[in-house]
Amino acid sequence: MRLLSLVLAPIGCLGWPCFAAEAPAPAPATPPPAAPASFPFTDADGNLHTRAATGHVTNYDEAKAGTYRLPDPLMLADGQPVRDAGAWFNRRRPEILELYRSQVFGRVPAGAPRVSFKVLESDPNAVDGRAVRRHVVIRCGDPRSGPAIHLQVYVPARALHPVPLLLQATFYGDPAAQPALDAELARRFHELGPVAAIIARGYGYAVYRYTDLQPDHAGTAAAGVIGLARGAAGGPPAGDAWGALSAWAWGASRVLDYLATDPAVDPGRVALIGHSRLGKMALWAGAQDPRFAVVFASCSGEMGAALARRDFGETIDDIAESFGYWFAPNFQRYVGHWNDLPVDAHLLIALNAPRPVFITAGSRDLWADPRGEFLAAVAAGPVYRLLGRRDLGSADPPPLDATVGAGELAFHEHDGDHAITAGDWQAFLEFAGPYLRPGS
């Protein structure tokens, strides 16, 4: 989903008369100056071009992506090397997590509200009788009026044991549960999982709308769970106050709290899935909550799986300007100073190690920087290897529509746009099978 309004650049006449003249005009000695581009605009290939407040203009030329040095995942802030799993888990990992909390996404406040669960209805005939669907309300704070996630949980009808489950936060929730949605919203349900195929493989599937707990608009820090936790506190939020991405990630963990109470689900085998901004959210939720057994981040782009130091597609300057409320206020420090950011996407991925992470990109989703997403997955490799797991196994540019990586870290770039495609789902189900073991 692209929320920026797209404005077409003025094209065509460039100051010359647009009507056909009787006799051909003499060729000008020097070409007229190009009309200044009016930003933002989308080019003929559908790529968004912006000029940020810093003056930075979107780059889509690989040769101009710039040079950079990534923070070393296996070196402590004091310069000491990280040589074993103990040093990773006890020292380096907490260090990186703290940097993400204080500088990027913000930390969950001590006063985050308690949640309550209520099963509203159960339908034993979902998915043509092959699944039981439960509508569960996960409410924060006041059990009658607090913000609430409306979760739809599908489990195979005749499962003999608690099942592994694919949990997906989506832009619009479950269309089966909201039949009144309009055609435009229905058209955008492209990121939803193939429920029947998931159930047929022996998985459960659960889905909810990400804005149930926290709106996705600037100026909503007094609303949703962020507002609830803030209560009557006045003044500007602290530099490390949680932004919307942290609130959404917190919500995913609360859904997992509920799933852990559902006897039909094995809470040790829950995968978290999100597309685009929700792919960023999924990586961040997995980083903080090791109960998520597998993470699938689709087209997560800037401040998700794509390296922020690369000047390609969306940049820190763009995202901090358009979506500042997704982040902690401190994140604004890095506008125009990308190399000062003490973390980058490879570290966000590595915070999920040794758990399996599946990263997808789209060849035409250049705003999300598919190459930068691949390179971040490559650069997370040393942490997986340190922990005795397999990395991507290749640093070569990946083939399209094929999964790179035979282990816990995998990358799949579809030939296409900003979406989770049917092929991505198929590849993910194959990737996740050995870890989530449906049917056992």
Binding site for ligand GTR (CB under 6 A): 1-4, 276-277, 301-302, 314, 319
Nearer to ligand GTR, 154 or 284 (CB): 284
Strand 204-209 vs strand 163-170: parallel, antiparallel, or unpaired?
Answer: parallel
Query: Of the residues 49, 412, 414, 418, which is catalytic?
Result: 418
CB of 412 to ligand GTR, least distance (A): 18
CB of 184 to ligand GTR, least distance (A): 15
CB of 344 to ligand GTR, least distance (A): 16
Place of tokens 């991507």: 392
CB of 47 to ligand GTR, least distance (A): 12
Q: Are 175 and 193 in contact (CB under 8 A)?
A: no
Tokens standing for residue 323: 């979506």
Query: Of the residues 56, 246, 275, 276, which is catalytic?
Result: 276
Is 414 considered catalytic here? no
Measured distance CA(245)–CA(104) in Å, rounded: 10
The kind and range of the H/E element at 411 are strand 409-414
Nearer to ligand GTR, 59 or 88 (CB): 59
Please tell me whether residue 379 adopts helix, strand or coil conformation: helix
Residues 6+ apart with CB under 8 A from 205: 153, 154, 165, 166, 167, 168, 193, 195, 198, 199
Place of tokens 């650069």: 379
Nearer to ligand GTR, 1 or 57 (CB): 1
CB of 55 to ligand GTR, least distance (A): 18
Is 56 considered catalytic here? no
Q: Are 57 and 49 in contact (CB under 8 A)?
A: yes
Q: 83, exposed or middle or buried, with CB in 10 Å at 0-12, 13-18, 19+?
A: exposed
Q: Are 306 and 369 in contact (CB under 8 A)?
A: yes
Nearer to ligand GTR, 136 or 298 (CB): 298
Nearer to ligand GTR, 1 or 137 (CB): 1
The catalytic residues are: 276, 418
